[in-house]
Structure 1
Amino acid sequence: MIEIKSIINTLSTEDHNKFVNYLQQKNKRKDTKNIQLFKSLANSNEDSKVICKRLYGVEKSNAYHALRKRLFQSLIDFTANKNLEDENSLDMQIVKYILASRTFLLQNKFSIAYKILDKAERLADEHFLFPILNEIYHTKIQYASNHSKIDLDALILKQKENQKKHQLEDRLNIVYAKLKAMLNEVSYQGNVIDFESELGRLLKAHHIEINSSLSFKSLYQILAIANISALVTKKYYTIESFVMNSYDLLKQKKETDKQLFYQIEIVYIIANTLFRNKKFEASLHYIKEMEQLMLLKKSAYHKAFKLKKTLVEALNLNYSNNQDKAITLIESVIATKHNDSETLLDLRLSCFMFYFQKENFVKAKSISAKLHHTDQWYIEKAGIDWVIKKNVAELLLYIELQEDELFNSRLKGFRRRYTKYLKDIGQTRILTFLKFAELYYLKPERMSKEAFKNQLETAFEWVTIREEDIFVISFYAWLKNKTEHGNLYQTTLQLIES
């Protein structure tokens, strides 16, 4: 049931209608219940027993399980066929050209065959389809002696250059996979890794350099690697120039529909990087570009990127003194069913923080109450950094609501579980922050004293505001606001703008 629901949730409204038509054409009998089952799963959250009883009059039925299996297979077939029609139509067309050319070659129609292969080569080269290009060159070289117009040496050189590009793409794929695995160890398991050293080592070990010969996909993978590095180190300012220059390089290439998915991914990385570097207006510019790209190809990727776009847009709005707009934007999608559970959790936590900054602590608590799973569950879903931010934010909320027992027990639990990890990754200032938060909790009146203010200023190791992480500044703003007795949201904005 879960697998079927997950597949159905990926379908757009248009795909829903197409799938129903697909089932109607496939059904040979009028009493087949697969359309009823599909609509029940698509339009409700009813469990199997309820659906089974409505379809068959009983809560359990072998016929129901057989029907569910057939629907699952139909969804797989429909998805595969749709991808063949939409995504791989060009690949299939080029393969047809190759097959047709080989037929003519066997019939000694060399001139016609090579004209077809030339057309296939132009298309494959334009879309960076290195494996298919290799097949084209292989076929051209095989029959070169039968066609006097062929420059065999030039053809062999082309094949070797293509093989280099293909191998480079494979090497990048390997580096990307290894770095993603390392990120999982850091973010999802709490292991400590010198990520920047590993990145440099892997790029050097696989002989990868960044230049204009990279394909669209390869450029995306390089940018994704840089983004992973910044995510782990919190040093987004170190990758901004590289990311922007790489995209400028990318724009010089001929754009194609095949590259749309990767282009949206890249624009998202740029928008997020600019936000983390507190360049909100520039980030929102790329959000608009992202939205325009999401509408292309009949909005083929709109659903896939909707939550990511909403998250970065809302964060930019919030830190641009447009908090109410940010909250409204998040609340318009937060109840949406979506497979991107990690971004959905980011949206919920952001909404929680927006209401906290707004000092609407009752509303913040209502959002927090819905995040009721264990820390381990959230570590597996969203990563350890997300869990730490959630815990710290909730501790501040307990202080504001004067929920003493919850604050004391959760603070002890947090220190017991995360102190070693925070020390290992060099983030002891989180522990220092909580120490000051506890001091305020125990004796709020001390926050107004000048000696305490000075102690607070010197307790943290600060880099410049340009280099400091925006979320670290946001938490510190809470402490600073307690010493100034001002408005939390405005204090946060003033710190970021200073």
Structure 2
Amino acid sequence: MSLETIISSFSDENANKFLMYLQKKNRRSDVKNSTLFKLIYTQKFTSKEIKNQLYKADTNNDAYHALRKRLHQTIIDFLAAINLEEENSEKTTVIKYILVARSFLQQNHYNVGSKLLDKAHKIADNSQLYPYLNEIYRLRIQYAHLNPKEDLEKLIDQFNKNQNLLKLEEQLNIVYAKVKAILYKISNKGEVIDFQKIVLKILHEQHIDINKNLSFKSFYQLLSIVSISAFISKDYLQIESFMLNTYDILRKHPNKDKERFYHIHVLYMIANTLFRTKQFKKSMYFLGLMNNEIDKNPKKYEAVFKLKYELLYNLNLNYTNNQDIAINRLENLLVKKRKDYETTLDLFLALIVFLFQKGAVKKSYKLITELYHTDSWYEEKVGNEWVIKKNLIEILLLVELDYSDLFDNRLAKFKRQHGAFLKKIGQEQVLIFLKYVELFFYNPKTVTTIDFYNKVENSFRWIGAKEEDIFVMSFYAWLKSKMIQKPIYETTLALVKQAQDL
């Protein structure tokens, strides 16, 4: 990873901490590492400009690269130190006890070593630290002959049970890794894959047996797998009860406070599932729980989770008739440059959509023109689905603005770039929708006729308002608003209300 990339990940607080760390570490006043860090952190200068500011000559390439290398290593040391401070205290305590206990056992000081292992065992068992328990049992079995009170057969049985739990945790980790790899191929590479069939095959291959003895991290990985499956199939209704029932177990899990990082992730996944099934009140409740967990250690978690929280919070606001509040919050959020580029783009697209639904078409279109990178660049950063949504919104904005030349160009480009992919994944409805968009653009009066209404009803595969994806519903709301001659936002909320009432 480049020095620039590492430094760009620093929060302002960590940047100040690092500069203080350098100040204590530097023994001479003429050391240039602080200056180099500050120049890179501003993100205003090229590497050549920075070198010239530091050395005022082109002849110091070796000195400059040596300085960069030293700064890189110092940053790694600093980050390692602060991560150790923030690491699960139980884990670090157990590691220390095991290391010291092993040393005493090797020197035949069994009583001291055994007492330390007992302490380590109690902490590791309470925290479900299966890898560390594995080492504790291994040491106790190895030195059991020195303790007449030790029941070797019982120890071996406990060791084998822990091995099964450790194996299950590792199996889920493998499944999680494979599922994430498949998701990357679908979202970022546009590959057509039978996702659910492959996931079932992976679960079968790994012999996954779900039980309440899973570690918190394993539960998180399991819920992630289920959530990814819903993301691909757009069938969040099917996983909702499983997510909520699993959280009932997690609420009482002994490690939910110790594993706060995964706990926050789980709350976000549940809130997102409930939003996608149009249960906005419940979604907001879980977002409240998520925010409470973030606030317990904001320095550690805000940078990772706060923008994701804001995205989902404002989506809920928008679909509960609080659009102006959502727009205002998003505009304030996007004033400041953010390091979470993926979520920032999601926030930006959400603002474009909200303004479009509100009828602020020119403002919405101005924002979309600020997305100046190529589609392939955005696909690499945030995935194919985001690009398709962005392009669809742009086409609808061009319709509203009556930009005929640009409309023809973007429509043809969309069909050329995404047509084959949409057909392969069974999403021909997007292309059917665009056919009616084109009909409206060139003959707007036809959309209010009974004949047009019947054509639309017979063209789409309706799966029911309750099951329909909320974003698909939002695009259809634009077409329906033209058919019934009502505002887009009003029509959108009416469709959502209809789904909630079922």
Name the TM tier (shorter chain). Answer: over 0.9
Question: How far apart, in 1, do the equivalents of 2:59 and 2:324 lie?
Answer: 49
SS in 2 for 1:29: coil
SS in 1 for 2:297: helix
Which segment is superposed worse, 368-377 or 438-447?
Answer: 368-377
Paired residue for 1:366? 366
SS in 1 for 2:461: coil
Question: How far apart, in 2, do the equivalents of 1:154 and 1:14 lie?
Answer: 51
**What displacement does 1:264 show?**
0.7
Aligned counterparts, 1:307-322, within 5 A: 307-322=307-322
Question: How far apart, in 1, do the equivalents of 2:135 and 2:481 lie?
Answer: 66
Which segment is superposed worse, 30-39 or 108-117?
Answer: 108-117
- 1:252–1:88 Cα change, 3 Å: closer
Paired residue for 2:435? 435
- 1:118 to 2:123 alignment: no
Paired residue for 2:267? 267
SS in 1 for 2:259: helix
- Letter in structure 2 aligned against 1:111: N
Paired residue for 1:109? 109
Question: How far apart, in 1, do the equivalents of 2:361 and 2:208 lie?
Answer: 50
Paired residue for 1:243? 243
- Letter in structure 1 aligned against 2:271: A
- 1:186–1:25 Cα change, 3 Å: same
Paired residue for 1:482? 482
Asked whether the 8 Å contact 2:216–2:256 carries over to 1, the reply is no
Asked whether the 8 Å contact 1:50–1:59 carries over to 2, the reply is no
Paired residue for 1:67? 67
Question: How far apart, in 2, do the equivalents of 1:114 and 1:70 lie?
Answer: 43
Asked whether the 8 Å contact 2:256–2:263 carries over to 1, the reply is no
Structure 2 unmatched ranges of 5 or more: none
Paired residue for 2:27? 28
Asked whether the 8 Å contact 2:271–2:287 carries over to 1, the reply is yes
**What displacement does 1:41 show?**
2.6
Paired residue for 2:44? 45
**What displacement does 1:14 show?**
3.0
Paired residue for 1:295? 295
Aligned length in residues: 497
Which segment is superposed worse, 251-260 or 438-447?
Answer: 251-260
TM-score (norm 1): 0.96
Paired residue for 1:17? 16
Paired residue for 2:214? 214
- Letter in structure 2 aligned against 1:438: E
Paired residue for 2:346? 346
Asked whether the 8 Å contact 2:168–2:209 carries over to 1, the reply is no
Asked whether the 8 Å contact 2:275–2:283 carries over to 1, the reply is yes
Paired residue for 1:193? 193
- Letter in structure 2 aligned against 1:215: S
**What displacement does 1:58 show?**
4.5
Asked whether the 8 Å contact 1:52–1:60 carries over to 2, the reply is no
Asked whether the 8 Å contact 1:9–1:337 carries over to 2, the reply is no
- 1:425–1:39 Cα change, 3 Å: same
Asked whether the 8 Å contact 1:183–1:228 carries over to 2, the reply is yes
**What displacement does 1:410 show?**
1.2
Asked whether the 8 Å contact 1:419–1:431 carries over to 2, the reply is yes
**What displacement does 1:340 show?**
2.7
Paired residue for 1:4? 3
Question: How far apart, in 2, do the equivalents of 1:339 and 1:226 lie?
Answer: 28
Question: How far apart, in 2, do the equivalents of 1:65 and 1:300 lie?
Answer: 32
- 1:343–1:456 Cα change, 3 Å: same
**What displacement does 1:89 show?**
4.2
**What displacement does 1:135 show?**
0.9
Aligned counterparts, 1:220-235, within 5 A: 220-235=220-235
Q: Deviations for 1:184-228, whole angstroms, at most 9, x for unmatched residues?
A: 221112221111111212112111122201110100000000111
Paired residue for 2:496? 496
Paired residue for 1:397? 397
| % identical equivalent positions | 47
Aligned counterparts, 1:141-180, within 5 A: 141-180=141-180
Q: Deviations for 1:87-143, whole angstroms, at most 9, x for unmatched residues?
A: 154333212211222233244432332221111011112222222111111110111
Question: How far apart, in 2, do the equivalents of 1:238 and 1:337 lie?
Answer: 37
**What displacement does 1:444 show?**
0.6
- 1:184 to 2:184 alignment: yes
Paired residue for 2:426? 426
SS in 2 for 1:136: helix
**What displacement does 1:152 show?**
1.1
Q: Deviations for 1:270-303, whole angstroms, at most 9, x for unmatched residues?
A: 1111111111111111111111111223531111
Paired residue for 2:86? 86
Question: How far apart, in 2, do the equivalents of 1:336 and 1:199 lie?
Answer: 39
Paired residue for 1:377? 377
CA root-mean-square deviation: 1.7
Which segment is superposed worse, 455-464 or 423-432?
Answer: 455-464
Paired residue for 1:281? 281
Question: How far apart, in 2, do the equivalents of 1:460 and 1:198 lie?
Answer: 28
Asked whether the 8 Å contact 1:6–1:339 carries over to 2, the reply is no
Question: How far apart, in 2, do the equivalents of 1:124 and 1:10 lie?
Answer: 32
Structure 1 unmatched ranges of 5 or more: none
